[in-house]
Structure 1
């Protein structure tokens, strides 16, 4: 047990809860004088727009920046994002504006807007707060970097209200005490971080290229023609039997990609897998612990379950049920096209439940490996074609079960499936290694910077 002696005079006028007092105690010895953020701003902090996101169909359209659009690196995600029906000019981002999340599990998440890196206008959502700093006193990049450090994260943990939803409001952020080195030292810190960040981004780029190569490898291994686009001037025909239960518009069929192999049997998905099989947990007691996997627990980069939570049989009503080795495939936008699919493994007591926006997929026979099915259904061309089949309202579009059942999938011998799976596993492991190497470089830079700030 660690004991701390805190003088009453040190907490008079401040909060008394232990986490906050401990933070104050551990950061008394900054190497540079600290100044409240409020004294470093050119204007008052601003809350974002309260608009609903709608599909952004063009890269020229203004992008609505939400917490989920910001990556763990503090960059905008690569996907197209959303926009809004109403765009108020007062929420448009300018160069060096800093956004910080104010609510939820991502409170403290930050983003520094750089106009020369973004080719379209951006505006921000209400769960974020905009800060515009006085650049003569504090380098915006230095402030952003400070929000990436453990020191800041400790302040967030100490400051956010622990009851109910985590939250830090604009007034509380304004009271943040920031160590303020001379501008020259700030720039040195920025240079250290930027060098490391660029090295990490290069590693991430190499990792991404490796993951993207999986799609090309699959087409080659299965002898699938990668060029299936129909010319806009072409006339093409479809059998009535192929159209029953599907949409009737031309674009649905013109842009549809089929995973048709030139050397292996091709089968409709419904004929070789069960989709949403009936699952009952009648043999398990109500208090039996099981796995709970909501959508946010699936990593869309590697298509894996990154976190398993726990619930009980009694609390499964209203959720999608699944069993060990079932494939969970997201049916709703934007999760589907972002690759939110994974195989449920190492489940507590062999069963679990999760989002109602999953299709649960399971092979009907032993000559089909679920890992192989997963790879085909995660191919970008399959996801793009599925996106074109969306039905439902603009905000809640889904892939229909009829469409999923109609997807064509090659059915090679099991040894070919195993070979494909093994190759992809090797590619993914190398991609993970590259990301790990990049993260290590950045972590070392952050440690160096924190040492400079703390002395």
Structure 2
């Protein structure tokens, strides 16, 4: 097999003269050039160190005329993207399943379009994402000031290629593992959306209460109902008349009241009305913000940094152990919320589901720790932390210089929530807890698959490990 390997460069496998190009944008591009929709611009935030799916979100856009003027830096499926300044080693592979057909590069990125008669884009992506390739790139970079490389260096970067058949086998194995990791993340996103939908229905829109109130004739009383509540009741009546409407089981519906009442906070609820018997409290009274946790100095404990906090799903993948020297402390079932720009805006939120009972861990000083109690389950808090209205309220409290703004804890004093009975809270937890446990199972499986993938990667692309007879089994394992 060694005789079939060819040593070449990335420039040697680029497709034509425009196979490897720089991003076009300079610092003189005015903010007015960006639009809310159009052609997305690939930036460093869309790339990753190592093998990770291209982050197909958080874009700025340019209109058609700008895209046409800069179309030499267009990116399409099969293109490999590199960072040339800043966090070197970041890469991304555009695939057909991504949201857009065409992208543009930012000024800090480069693009390689591979001649598929010489190499498979997926194989090249695996090669340049390997730790040995990243180490070489960082070692060779210009380190005066911000680390950087240039297009000439990218074209000269060495790569060893087996024949296309061998490349395909390697791609099948590593791609199978990657697909399963991606599938686990997609499942977690779906489960999160389901939990979030139930949270909003029960605790924001109060759908079960409106259902019971409609059945009980509550809205037929001669009371001065607020317009907002009446509009919501009418909208719910329309939903209930639809042929696909599925009411809650009777045992669950009976947990909810059949009436609303005015609350002391007129800006809360539906026109200042909330489910009868529910308490209205500000978040800082209802739950504990940054609870006290005992953790001795220099004690080895589990640690989470900001980078490890997920933007989707709740399970935290990259947990390490190190001596405690400072940071925000937490315990099992606490919810971690980023307090700093842009991490909060990106949705960084996680549940501490990796500690045993009474075990303490710690993390970034830029975390806010949210803890429940006997009245409010941690799954409720997790959903609240991802609820858009709550997040917008928290973000409005941020102060500080541009790019380093932080949430002020006082924002939790003036955001009200309606607290249901313990029976309703327990029912909600029982319905969503299986999803939260599945988050952790999927995350643990993805960690194991990623470890296997990262172990195989250098052995496969160096020719140290031959795939004769084992590629189908491994690919099948990844797809299972």
TM-score (norm 1): 0.63
Give the Cα separation in 1 of the matches to 2:140 and 2:346.
32
Count of residues in Structure 1 that have an aligned counterpart in Structure 2: 395
1:419–1:70 Cα change, 3 Å: farther
| Residue 98 (1) aligns with residue 80 (2) | yes
Give the Cα separation in 2 of the matches to 1:258 and 1:426.
34
- SS where residue 133 of structure 1 aligns? coil
| Residue 176 (1) aligns with residue 190 (2) | no
Give the Cα separation in 2 of the matches to 1:92 and 1:338.
26
- SS where residue 119 of structure 2 aligns? coil
- SS where residue 139 of structure 2 aligns? coil
Q: Deviations over 1:135-176 (max 9, x none)?
A: 55334344335446xxx4444346643999997845377332
1:334–1:408 Cα change, 3 Å: same
Give the Cα separation in 1 of the matches to 2:272 and 2:377.
19
- The alpha-carbon deviation at position 208 of structure 1 amounts to 2.3
Kept in 2: contact 1:61–1:120 (CA 8 A):
no
Structure 2 equivalent of residue 268 of structure 1: 282
Give the Cα separation in 1 of the matches to 2:177 and 2:87.
27
| Residue 359 (1) aligns with residue 332 (2) | no
Kept in 1: contact 2:191–2:435 (CA 8 A):
yes
Within-5 A mapping of 1:44-83: 46=21, 48=23, 59-70=36-47, 74-82=52-60
Match of 2:385 among 370, 378, 385: 378
Structure 2 equivalent of residue 35 of structure 1: 8
- The alpha-carbon deviation at position 321 of structure 1 amounts to 3.5
1:185–1:280 Cα change, 3 Å: closer
Match of 2:413 among 405, 409, 412: 405
Give the Cα separation in 2 of the matches to 1:137 and 1:97.
15
Structure 2 equivalent of residue 161 of structure 1: 139
Give the Cα separation in 1 of the matches to 2:273 and 2:312.
22
Structure 2 equivalent of residue 302 of structure 1: 313
Structure 2 equivalent of residue 428 of structure 1: 436
- SS where residue 342 of structure 1 aligns? strand
- The alpha-carbon deviation at position 295 of structure 1 amounts to 1.3
- The alpha-carbon deviation at position 194 of structure 1 amounts to 6.9
Comparing 375-384 and 189-198, the one that deviates more: 189-198
1:401–1:109 Cα change, 3 Å: same
RMSD between aligned alpha carbons? Answer: 5.5
Structure 1 equivalent of residue 472 of structure 2: none
Q: Deviations over 1:58-82 (max 9, x none)?
A: 6515534233323676544243334
Kept in 2: contact 1:289–1:349 (CA 8 A):
no
Within-5 A mapping of 1:314-353: 316=326, 321-324=328-331, 326-343=334-351, 346=355, 350=360, 352-353=362-363
- SS where residue 74 of structure 2 aligns? coil
Give the Cα separation in 1 of the matches to 2:303 and 2:230.
43
Give the Cα separation in 2 of the matches to 1:441 and 1:257.
50
Match of 2:92 among 89, 110, 122: 110
Kept in 1: contact 2:42–2:103 (CA 8 A):
no
1:241–1:401 Cα change, 3 Å: farther
> Can you give the 5+ residue segments of structure 2 that lack an aligned partner in the other structure?
211-227, 232-262, 467-480
Kept in 2: contact 1:98–1:130 (CA 8 A):
yes
Kept in 2: contact 1:369–1:417 (CA 8 A):
yes
- The alpha-carbon deviation at position 371 of structure 1 amounts to 1.3
- The alpha-carbon deviation at position 111 of structure 1 amounts to 2.4
1:321–1:406 Cα change, 3 Å: same
Kept in 2: contact 1:75–1:111 (CA 8 A):
yes
